[in-house]
Amino acid sequence: MFYSICYDVRDDHRRLRIAKLLEGFGDRVQYSVFELNLERDELERLKRKAVSILNPKEDLLRIYPLCAGCVGRIEILGEGRVTQDPDFVIL
């Protein structure tokens, strides 16, 4: 499934750790916004890792699932592209 994830993390160290975590799962499209194509188990793994990094009293991470129909209607004004599922994976 396609997700848009954004964050607001106060501490520089935690912010860097969250950004690196998300970079391992998807594409950064803005400073604190990522697009990801994830299977359910990948999303659960990402959430477990994020919870271990975030301070729930200071930080915020939002996960927006987008259905296939919604992804097809994403509009980009300016430079950029919508993250695509790879057609194939090399193992």
| Full 3-state SS string of 36-85 | EECCHHHHHHHHHHHHHHCCCCCCEEEEEEECHHHHCCCCCCCCCCCCCC
Q: Categorize the per-residue pLDDT at 33 as very low, low, confident or very high, splitting at 50, 70 and 90.
A: very high
Confidence bin at 91 (pLDDT 50/70/90): low
pLDDT of residue 15: 97
Residue 44 and residue 76: Cα distance in Å, rounded?
28
> Which whole number is the average pLDDT over 43-68?
95
Domains belonging to the chain, first-starting first, are 2-71 (3.30.70.240)
pLDDT reported for residue 65: 94
pLDDT for the residue numbered 70: 79
- pLDDT score of 89 more than 60: no
